[in-house]
Homo-oligomer: A and B are copies of this chain.
Amino acid sequence: MLLKVTILNIDSGGKPVIFLNDKDSDELNITASERVTVQTKKKITAIVNISTTIERGFLGVTDEVRKILSLKQNSKVNVEIAPFPKSLQFIRNKLSGKKLLYPEVREIVQDLVDGNLSENEISAFVTALHIDKIDLDEATSLSRAMVDTGKTLHINKKIIVDKHSIGGVPGDKTTLLVVPIIASEGFTIPKTSSRAITSVAGTADRAEVLMPVEFTINRMLQILKKSNGCIVWGGAIELAPADDIFVKTEFSLHIDPLLLPSIMSKKKAVGATHLTIDIPAGRGAKMKTTGEADLLARDIMELGRRLGIHTHCIVTFGEQPIGNTVGPALESKEALEVLMNQKQVPDLIDKACNISGSMFELLGKKNGYSLAKKILESGKAEQKMREIIKAQGGDSDILPEDIPIGKYSLVIRSEKSGQVLWMENRIIVEIGRAAGAPKDKGAGIIFNKKIGDSVEKGELLFTICAEKAHKLDRVKYILSTQLPLGVGKKSDMLIHTITESPIVERTFVIDR
Footprint of B on A, CB under 8 Å? 8-13, 19, 26-27, 29, 31-34, 49-54, 60, 63, 86, 89, 91-93, 95, 97, 101, 103, 118-124, 126-128, 130-132, 197, 248-249, 251-255, 433, 439, 501, 503-506
Contacts and interface: CB of A to CB of B under 8 A. Distances in A.
Contacts of A31: 197, 248, 251
Contacts of A131: 95, 97, 127-128, 131-132
A33 B252 contact: yes
Contact of A123 (B9, B54, B86, B127): B127
A433 B504 contact: no
A439 to B, nearest CB: 6
Contacts of A13: 32, 49-50
Nearest to A89: B503
Contact of A124 (B92, B127, B505): B127
Nearest to A62: B53
Contacts of A119: 118-120, 123
Nearest to A86: B503
A11 B51 CA distance: 5
A252 B34 contact: yes
A3 to B, nearest CB: 15
Contact of A127 (B10, B11, B19, B95): B95
A93 to B, nearest CB: 7
12 contacts: A10-B10, A10-B54, A11-B53, A29-B439, A32-B248, A34-B252, A95-B253, A101-B501, A103-B501, A119-B119, A120-B123, A123-B124
A92 B123 contact: no
> Which residue among A10, A19, A248, A506 has the maximum number of chain B CB atoms within 10 Å of its CB?
A10
B26 A120 contact: no
Nearest to A97: B131
Number of copies: 2
A72 B410 CA distance: 42
Which 9 pairs between the two chains have the least Cβ-Cβ distance? A123-B123, A127-B127, A124-B127, A119-B119, A120-B123, A33-B252, A131-B131, A92-B254, A120-B252
A495 B255 CA distance: 43
Given A31-B251, A127-B127, 14 more contacts: A11-B51, A11-B53, A12-B49, A26-B439, A32-B248, A91-B253, A92-B253, A92-B254, A92-B255, A95-B253, A95-B254, A118-B119, A120-B252, A131-B132
A504 B93 contact: yes
Nearest to A93: B504
Q: Tell me which of A27, A60, A131, A439 has the highest count of chain B C-beta atoms within 10 A of its own C-beta.
A: A131
A52 to B, nearest CB: 6
A89 B504 contact: yes
A53 B174 CA distance: 39
Contacts of A253: 91-92, 95, 120-121, 124
A54 B504 CA distance: 36
Contacts of A103: 501
Contacts of A123: 119-121, 123-124, 127
Nearest to A249: B120
Contacts of A506: 92
A432 to B, nearest CB: 11
Contacts of A501: 101, 103
Nearest to A255: B95
Given A8-B10, A50-B13, A33 B124 contact: no
A161 to B, nearest CB: 33
A19 B248 CA distance: 17
A53 B49 contact: no
Contact of A130 (B8, B95, B120): B95
Nearest to A54: B10
Contacts of A95: 127, 130-131, 253-255
Given A97-B131, A131-B95, A11 B252 contact: no
Nearest to A131: B131
A504 B254 CA distance: 32
Given A10-B8, A89-B503, A93-B504, A121 B252 contact: yes
Given A32-B248, A89-B505, A504-B89, A60 B10 contact: yes
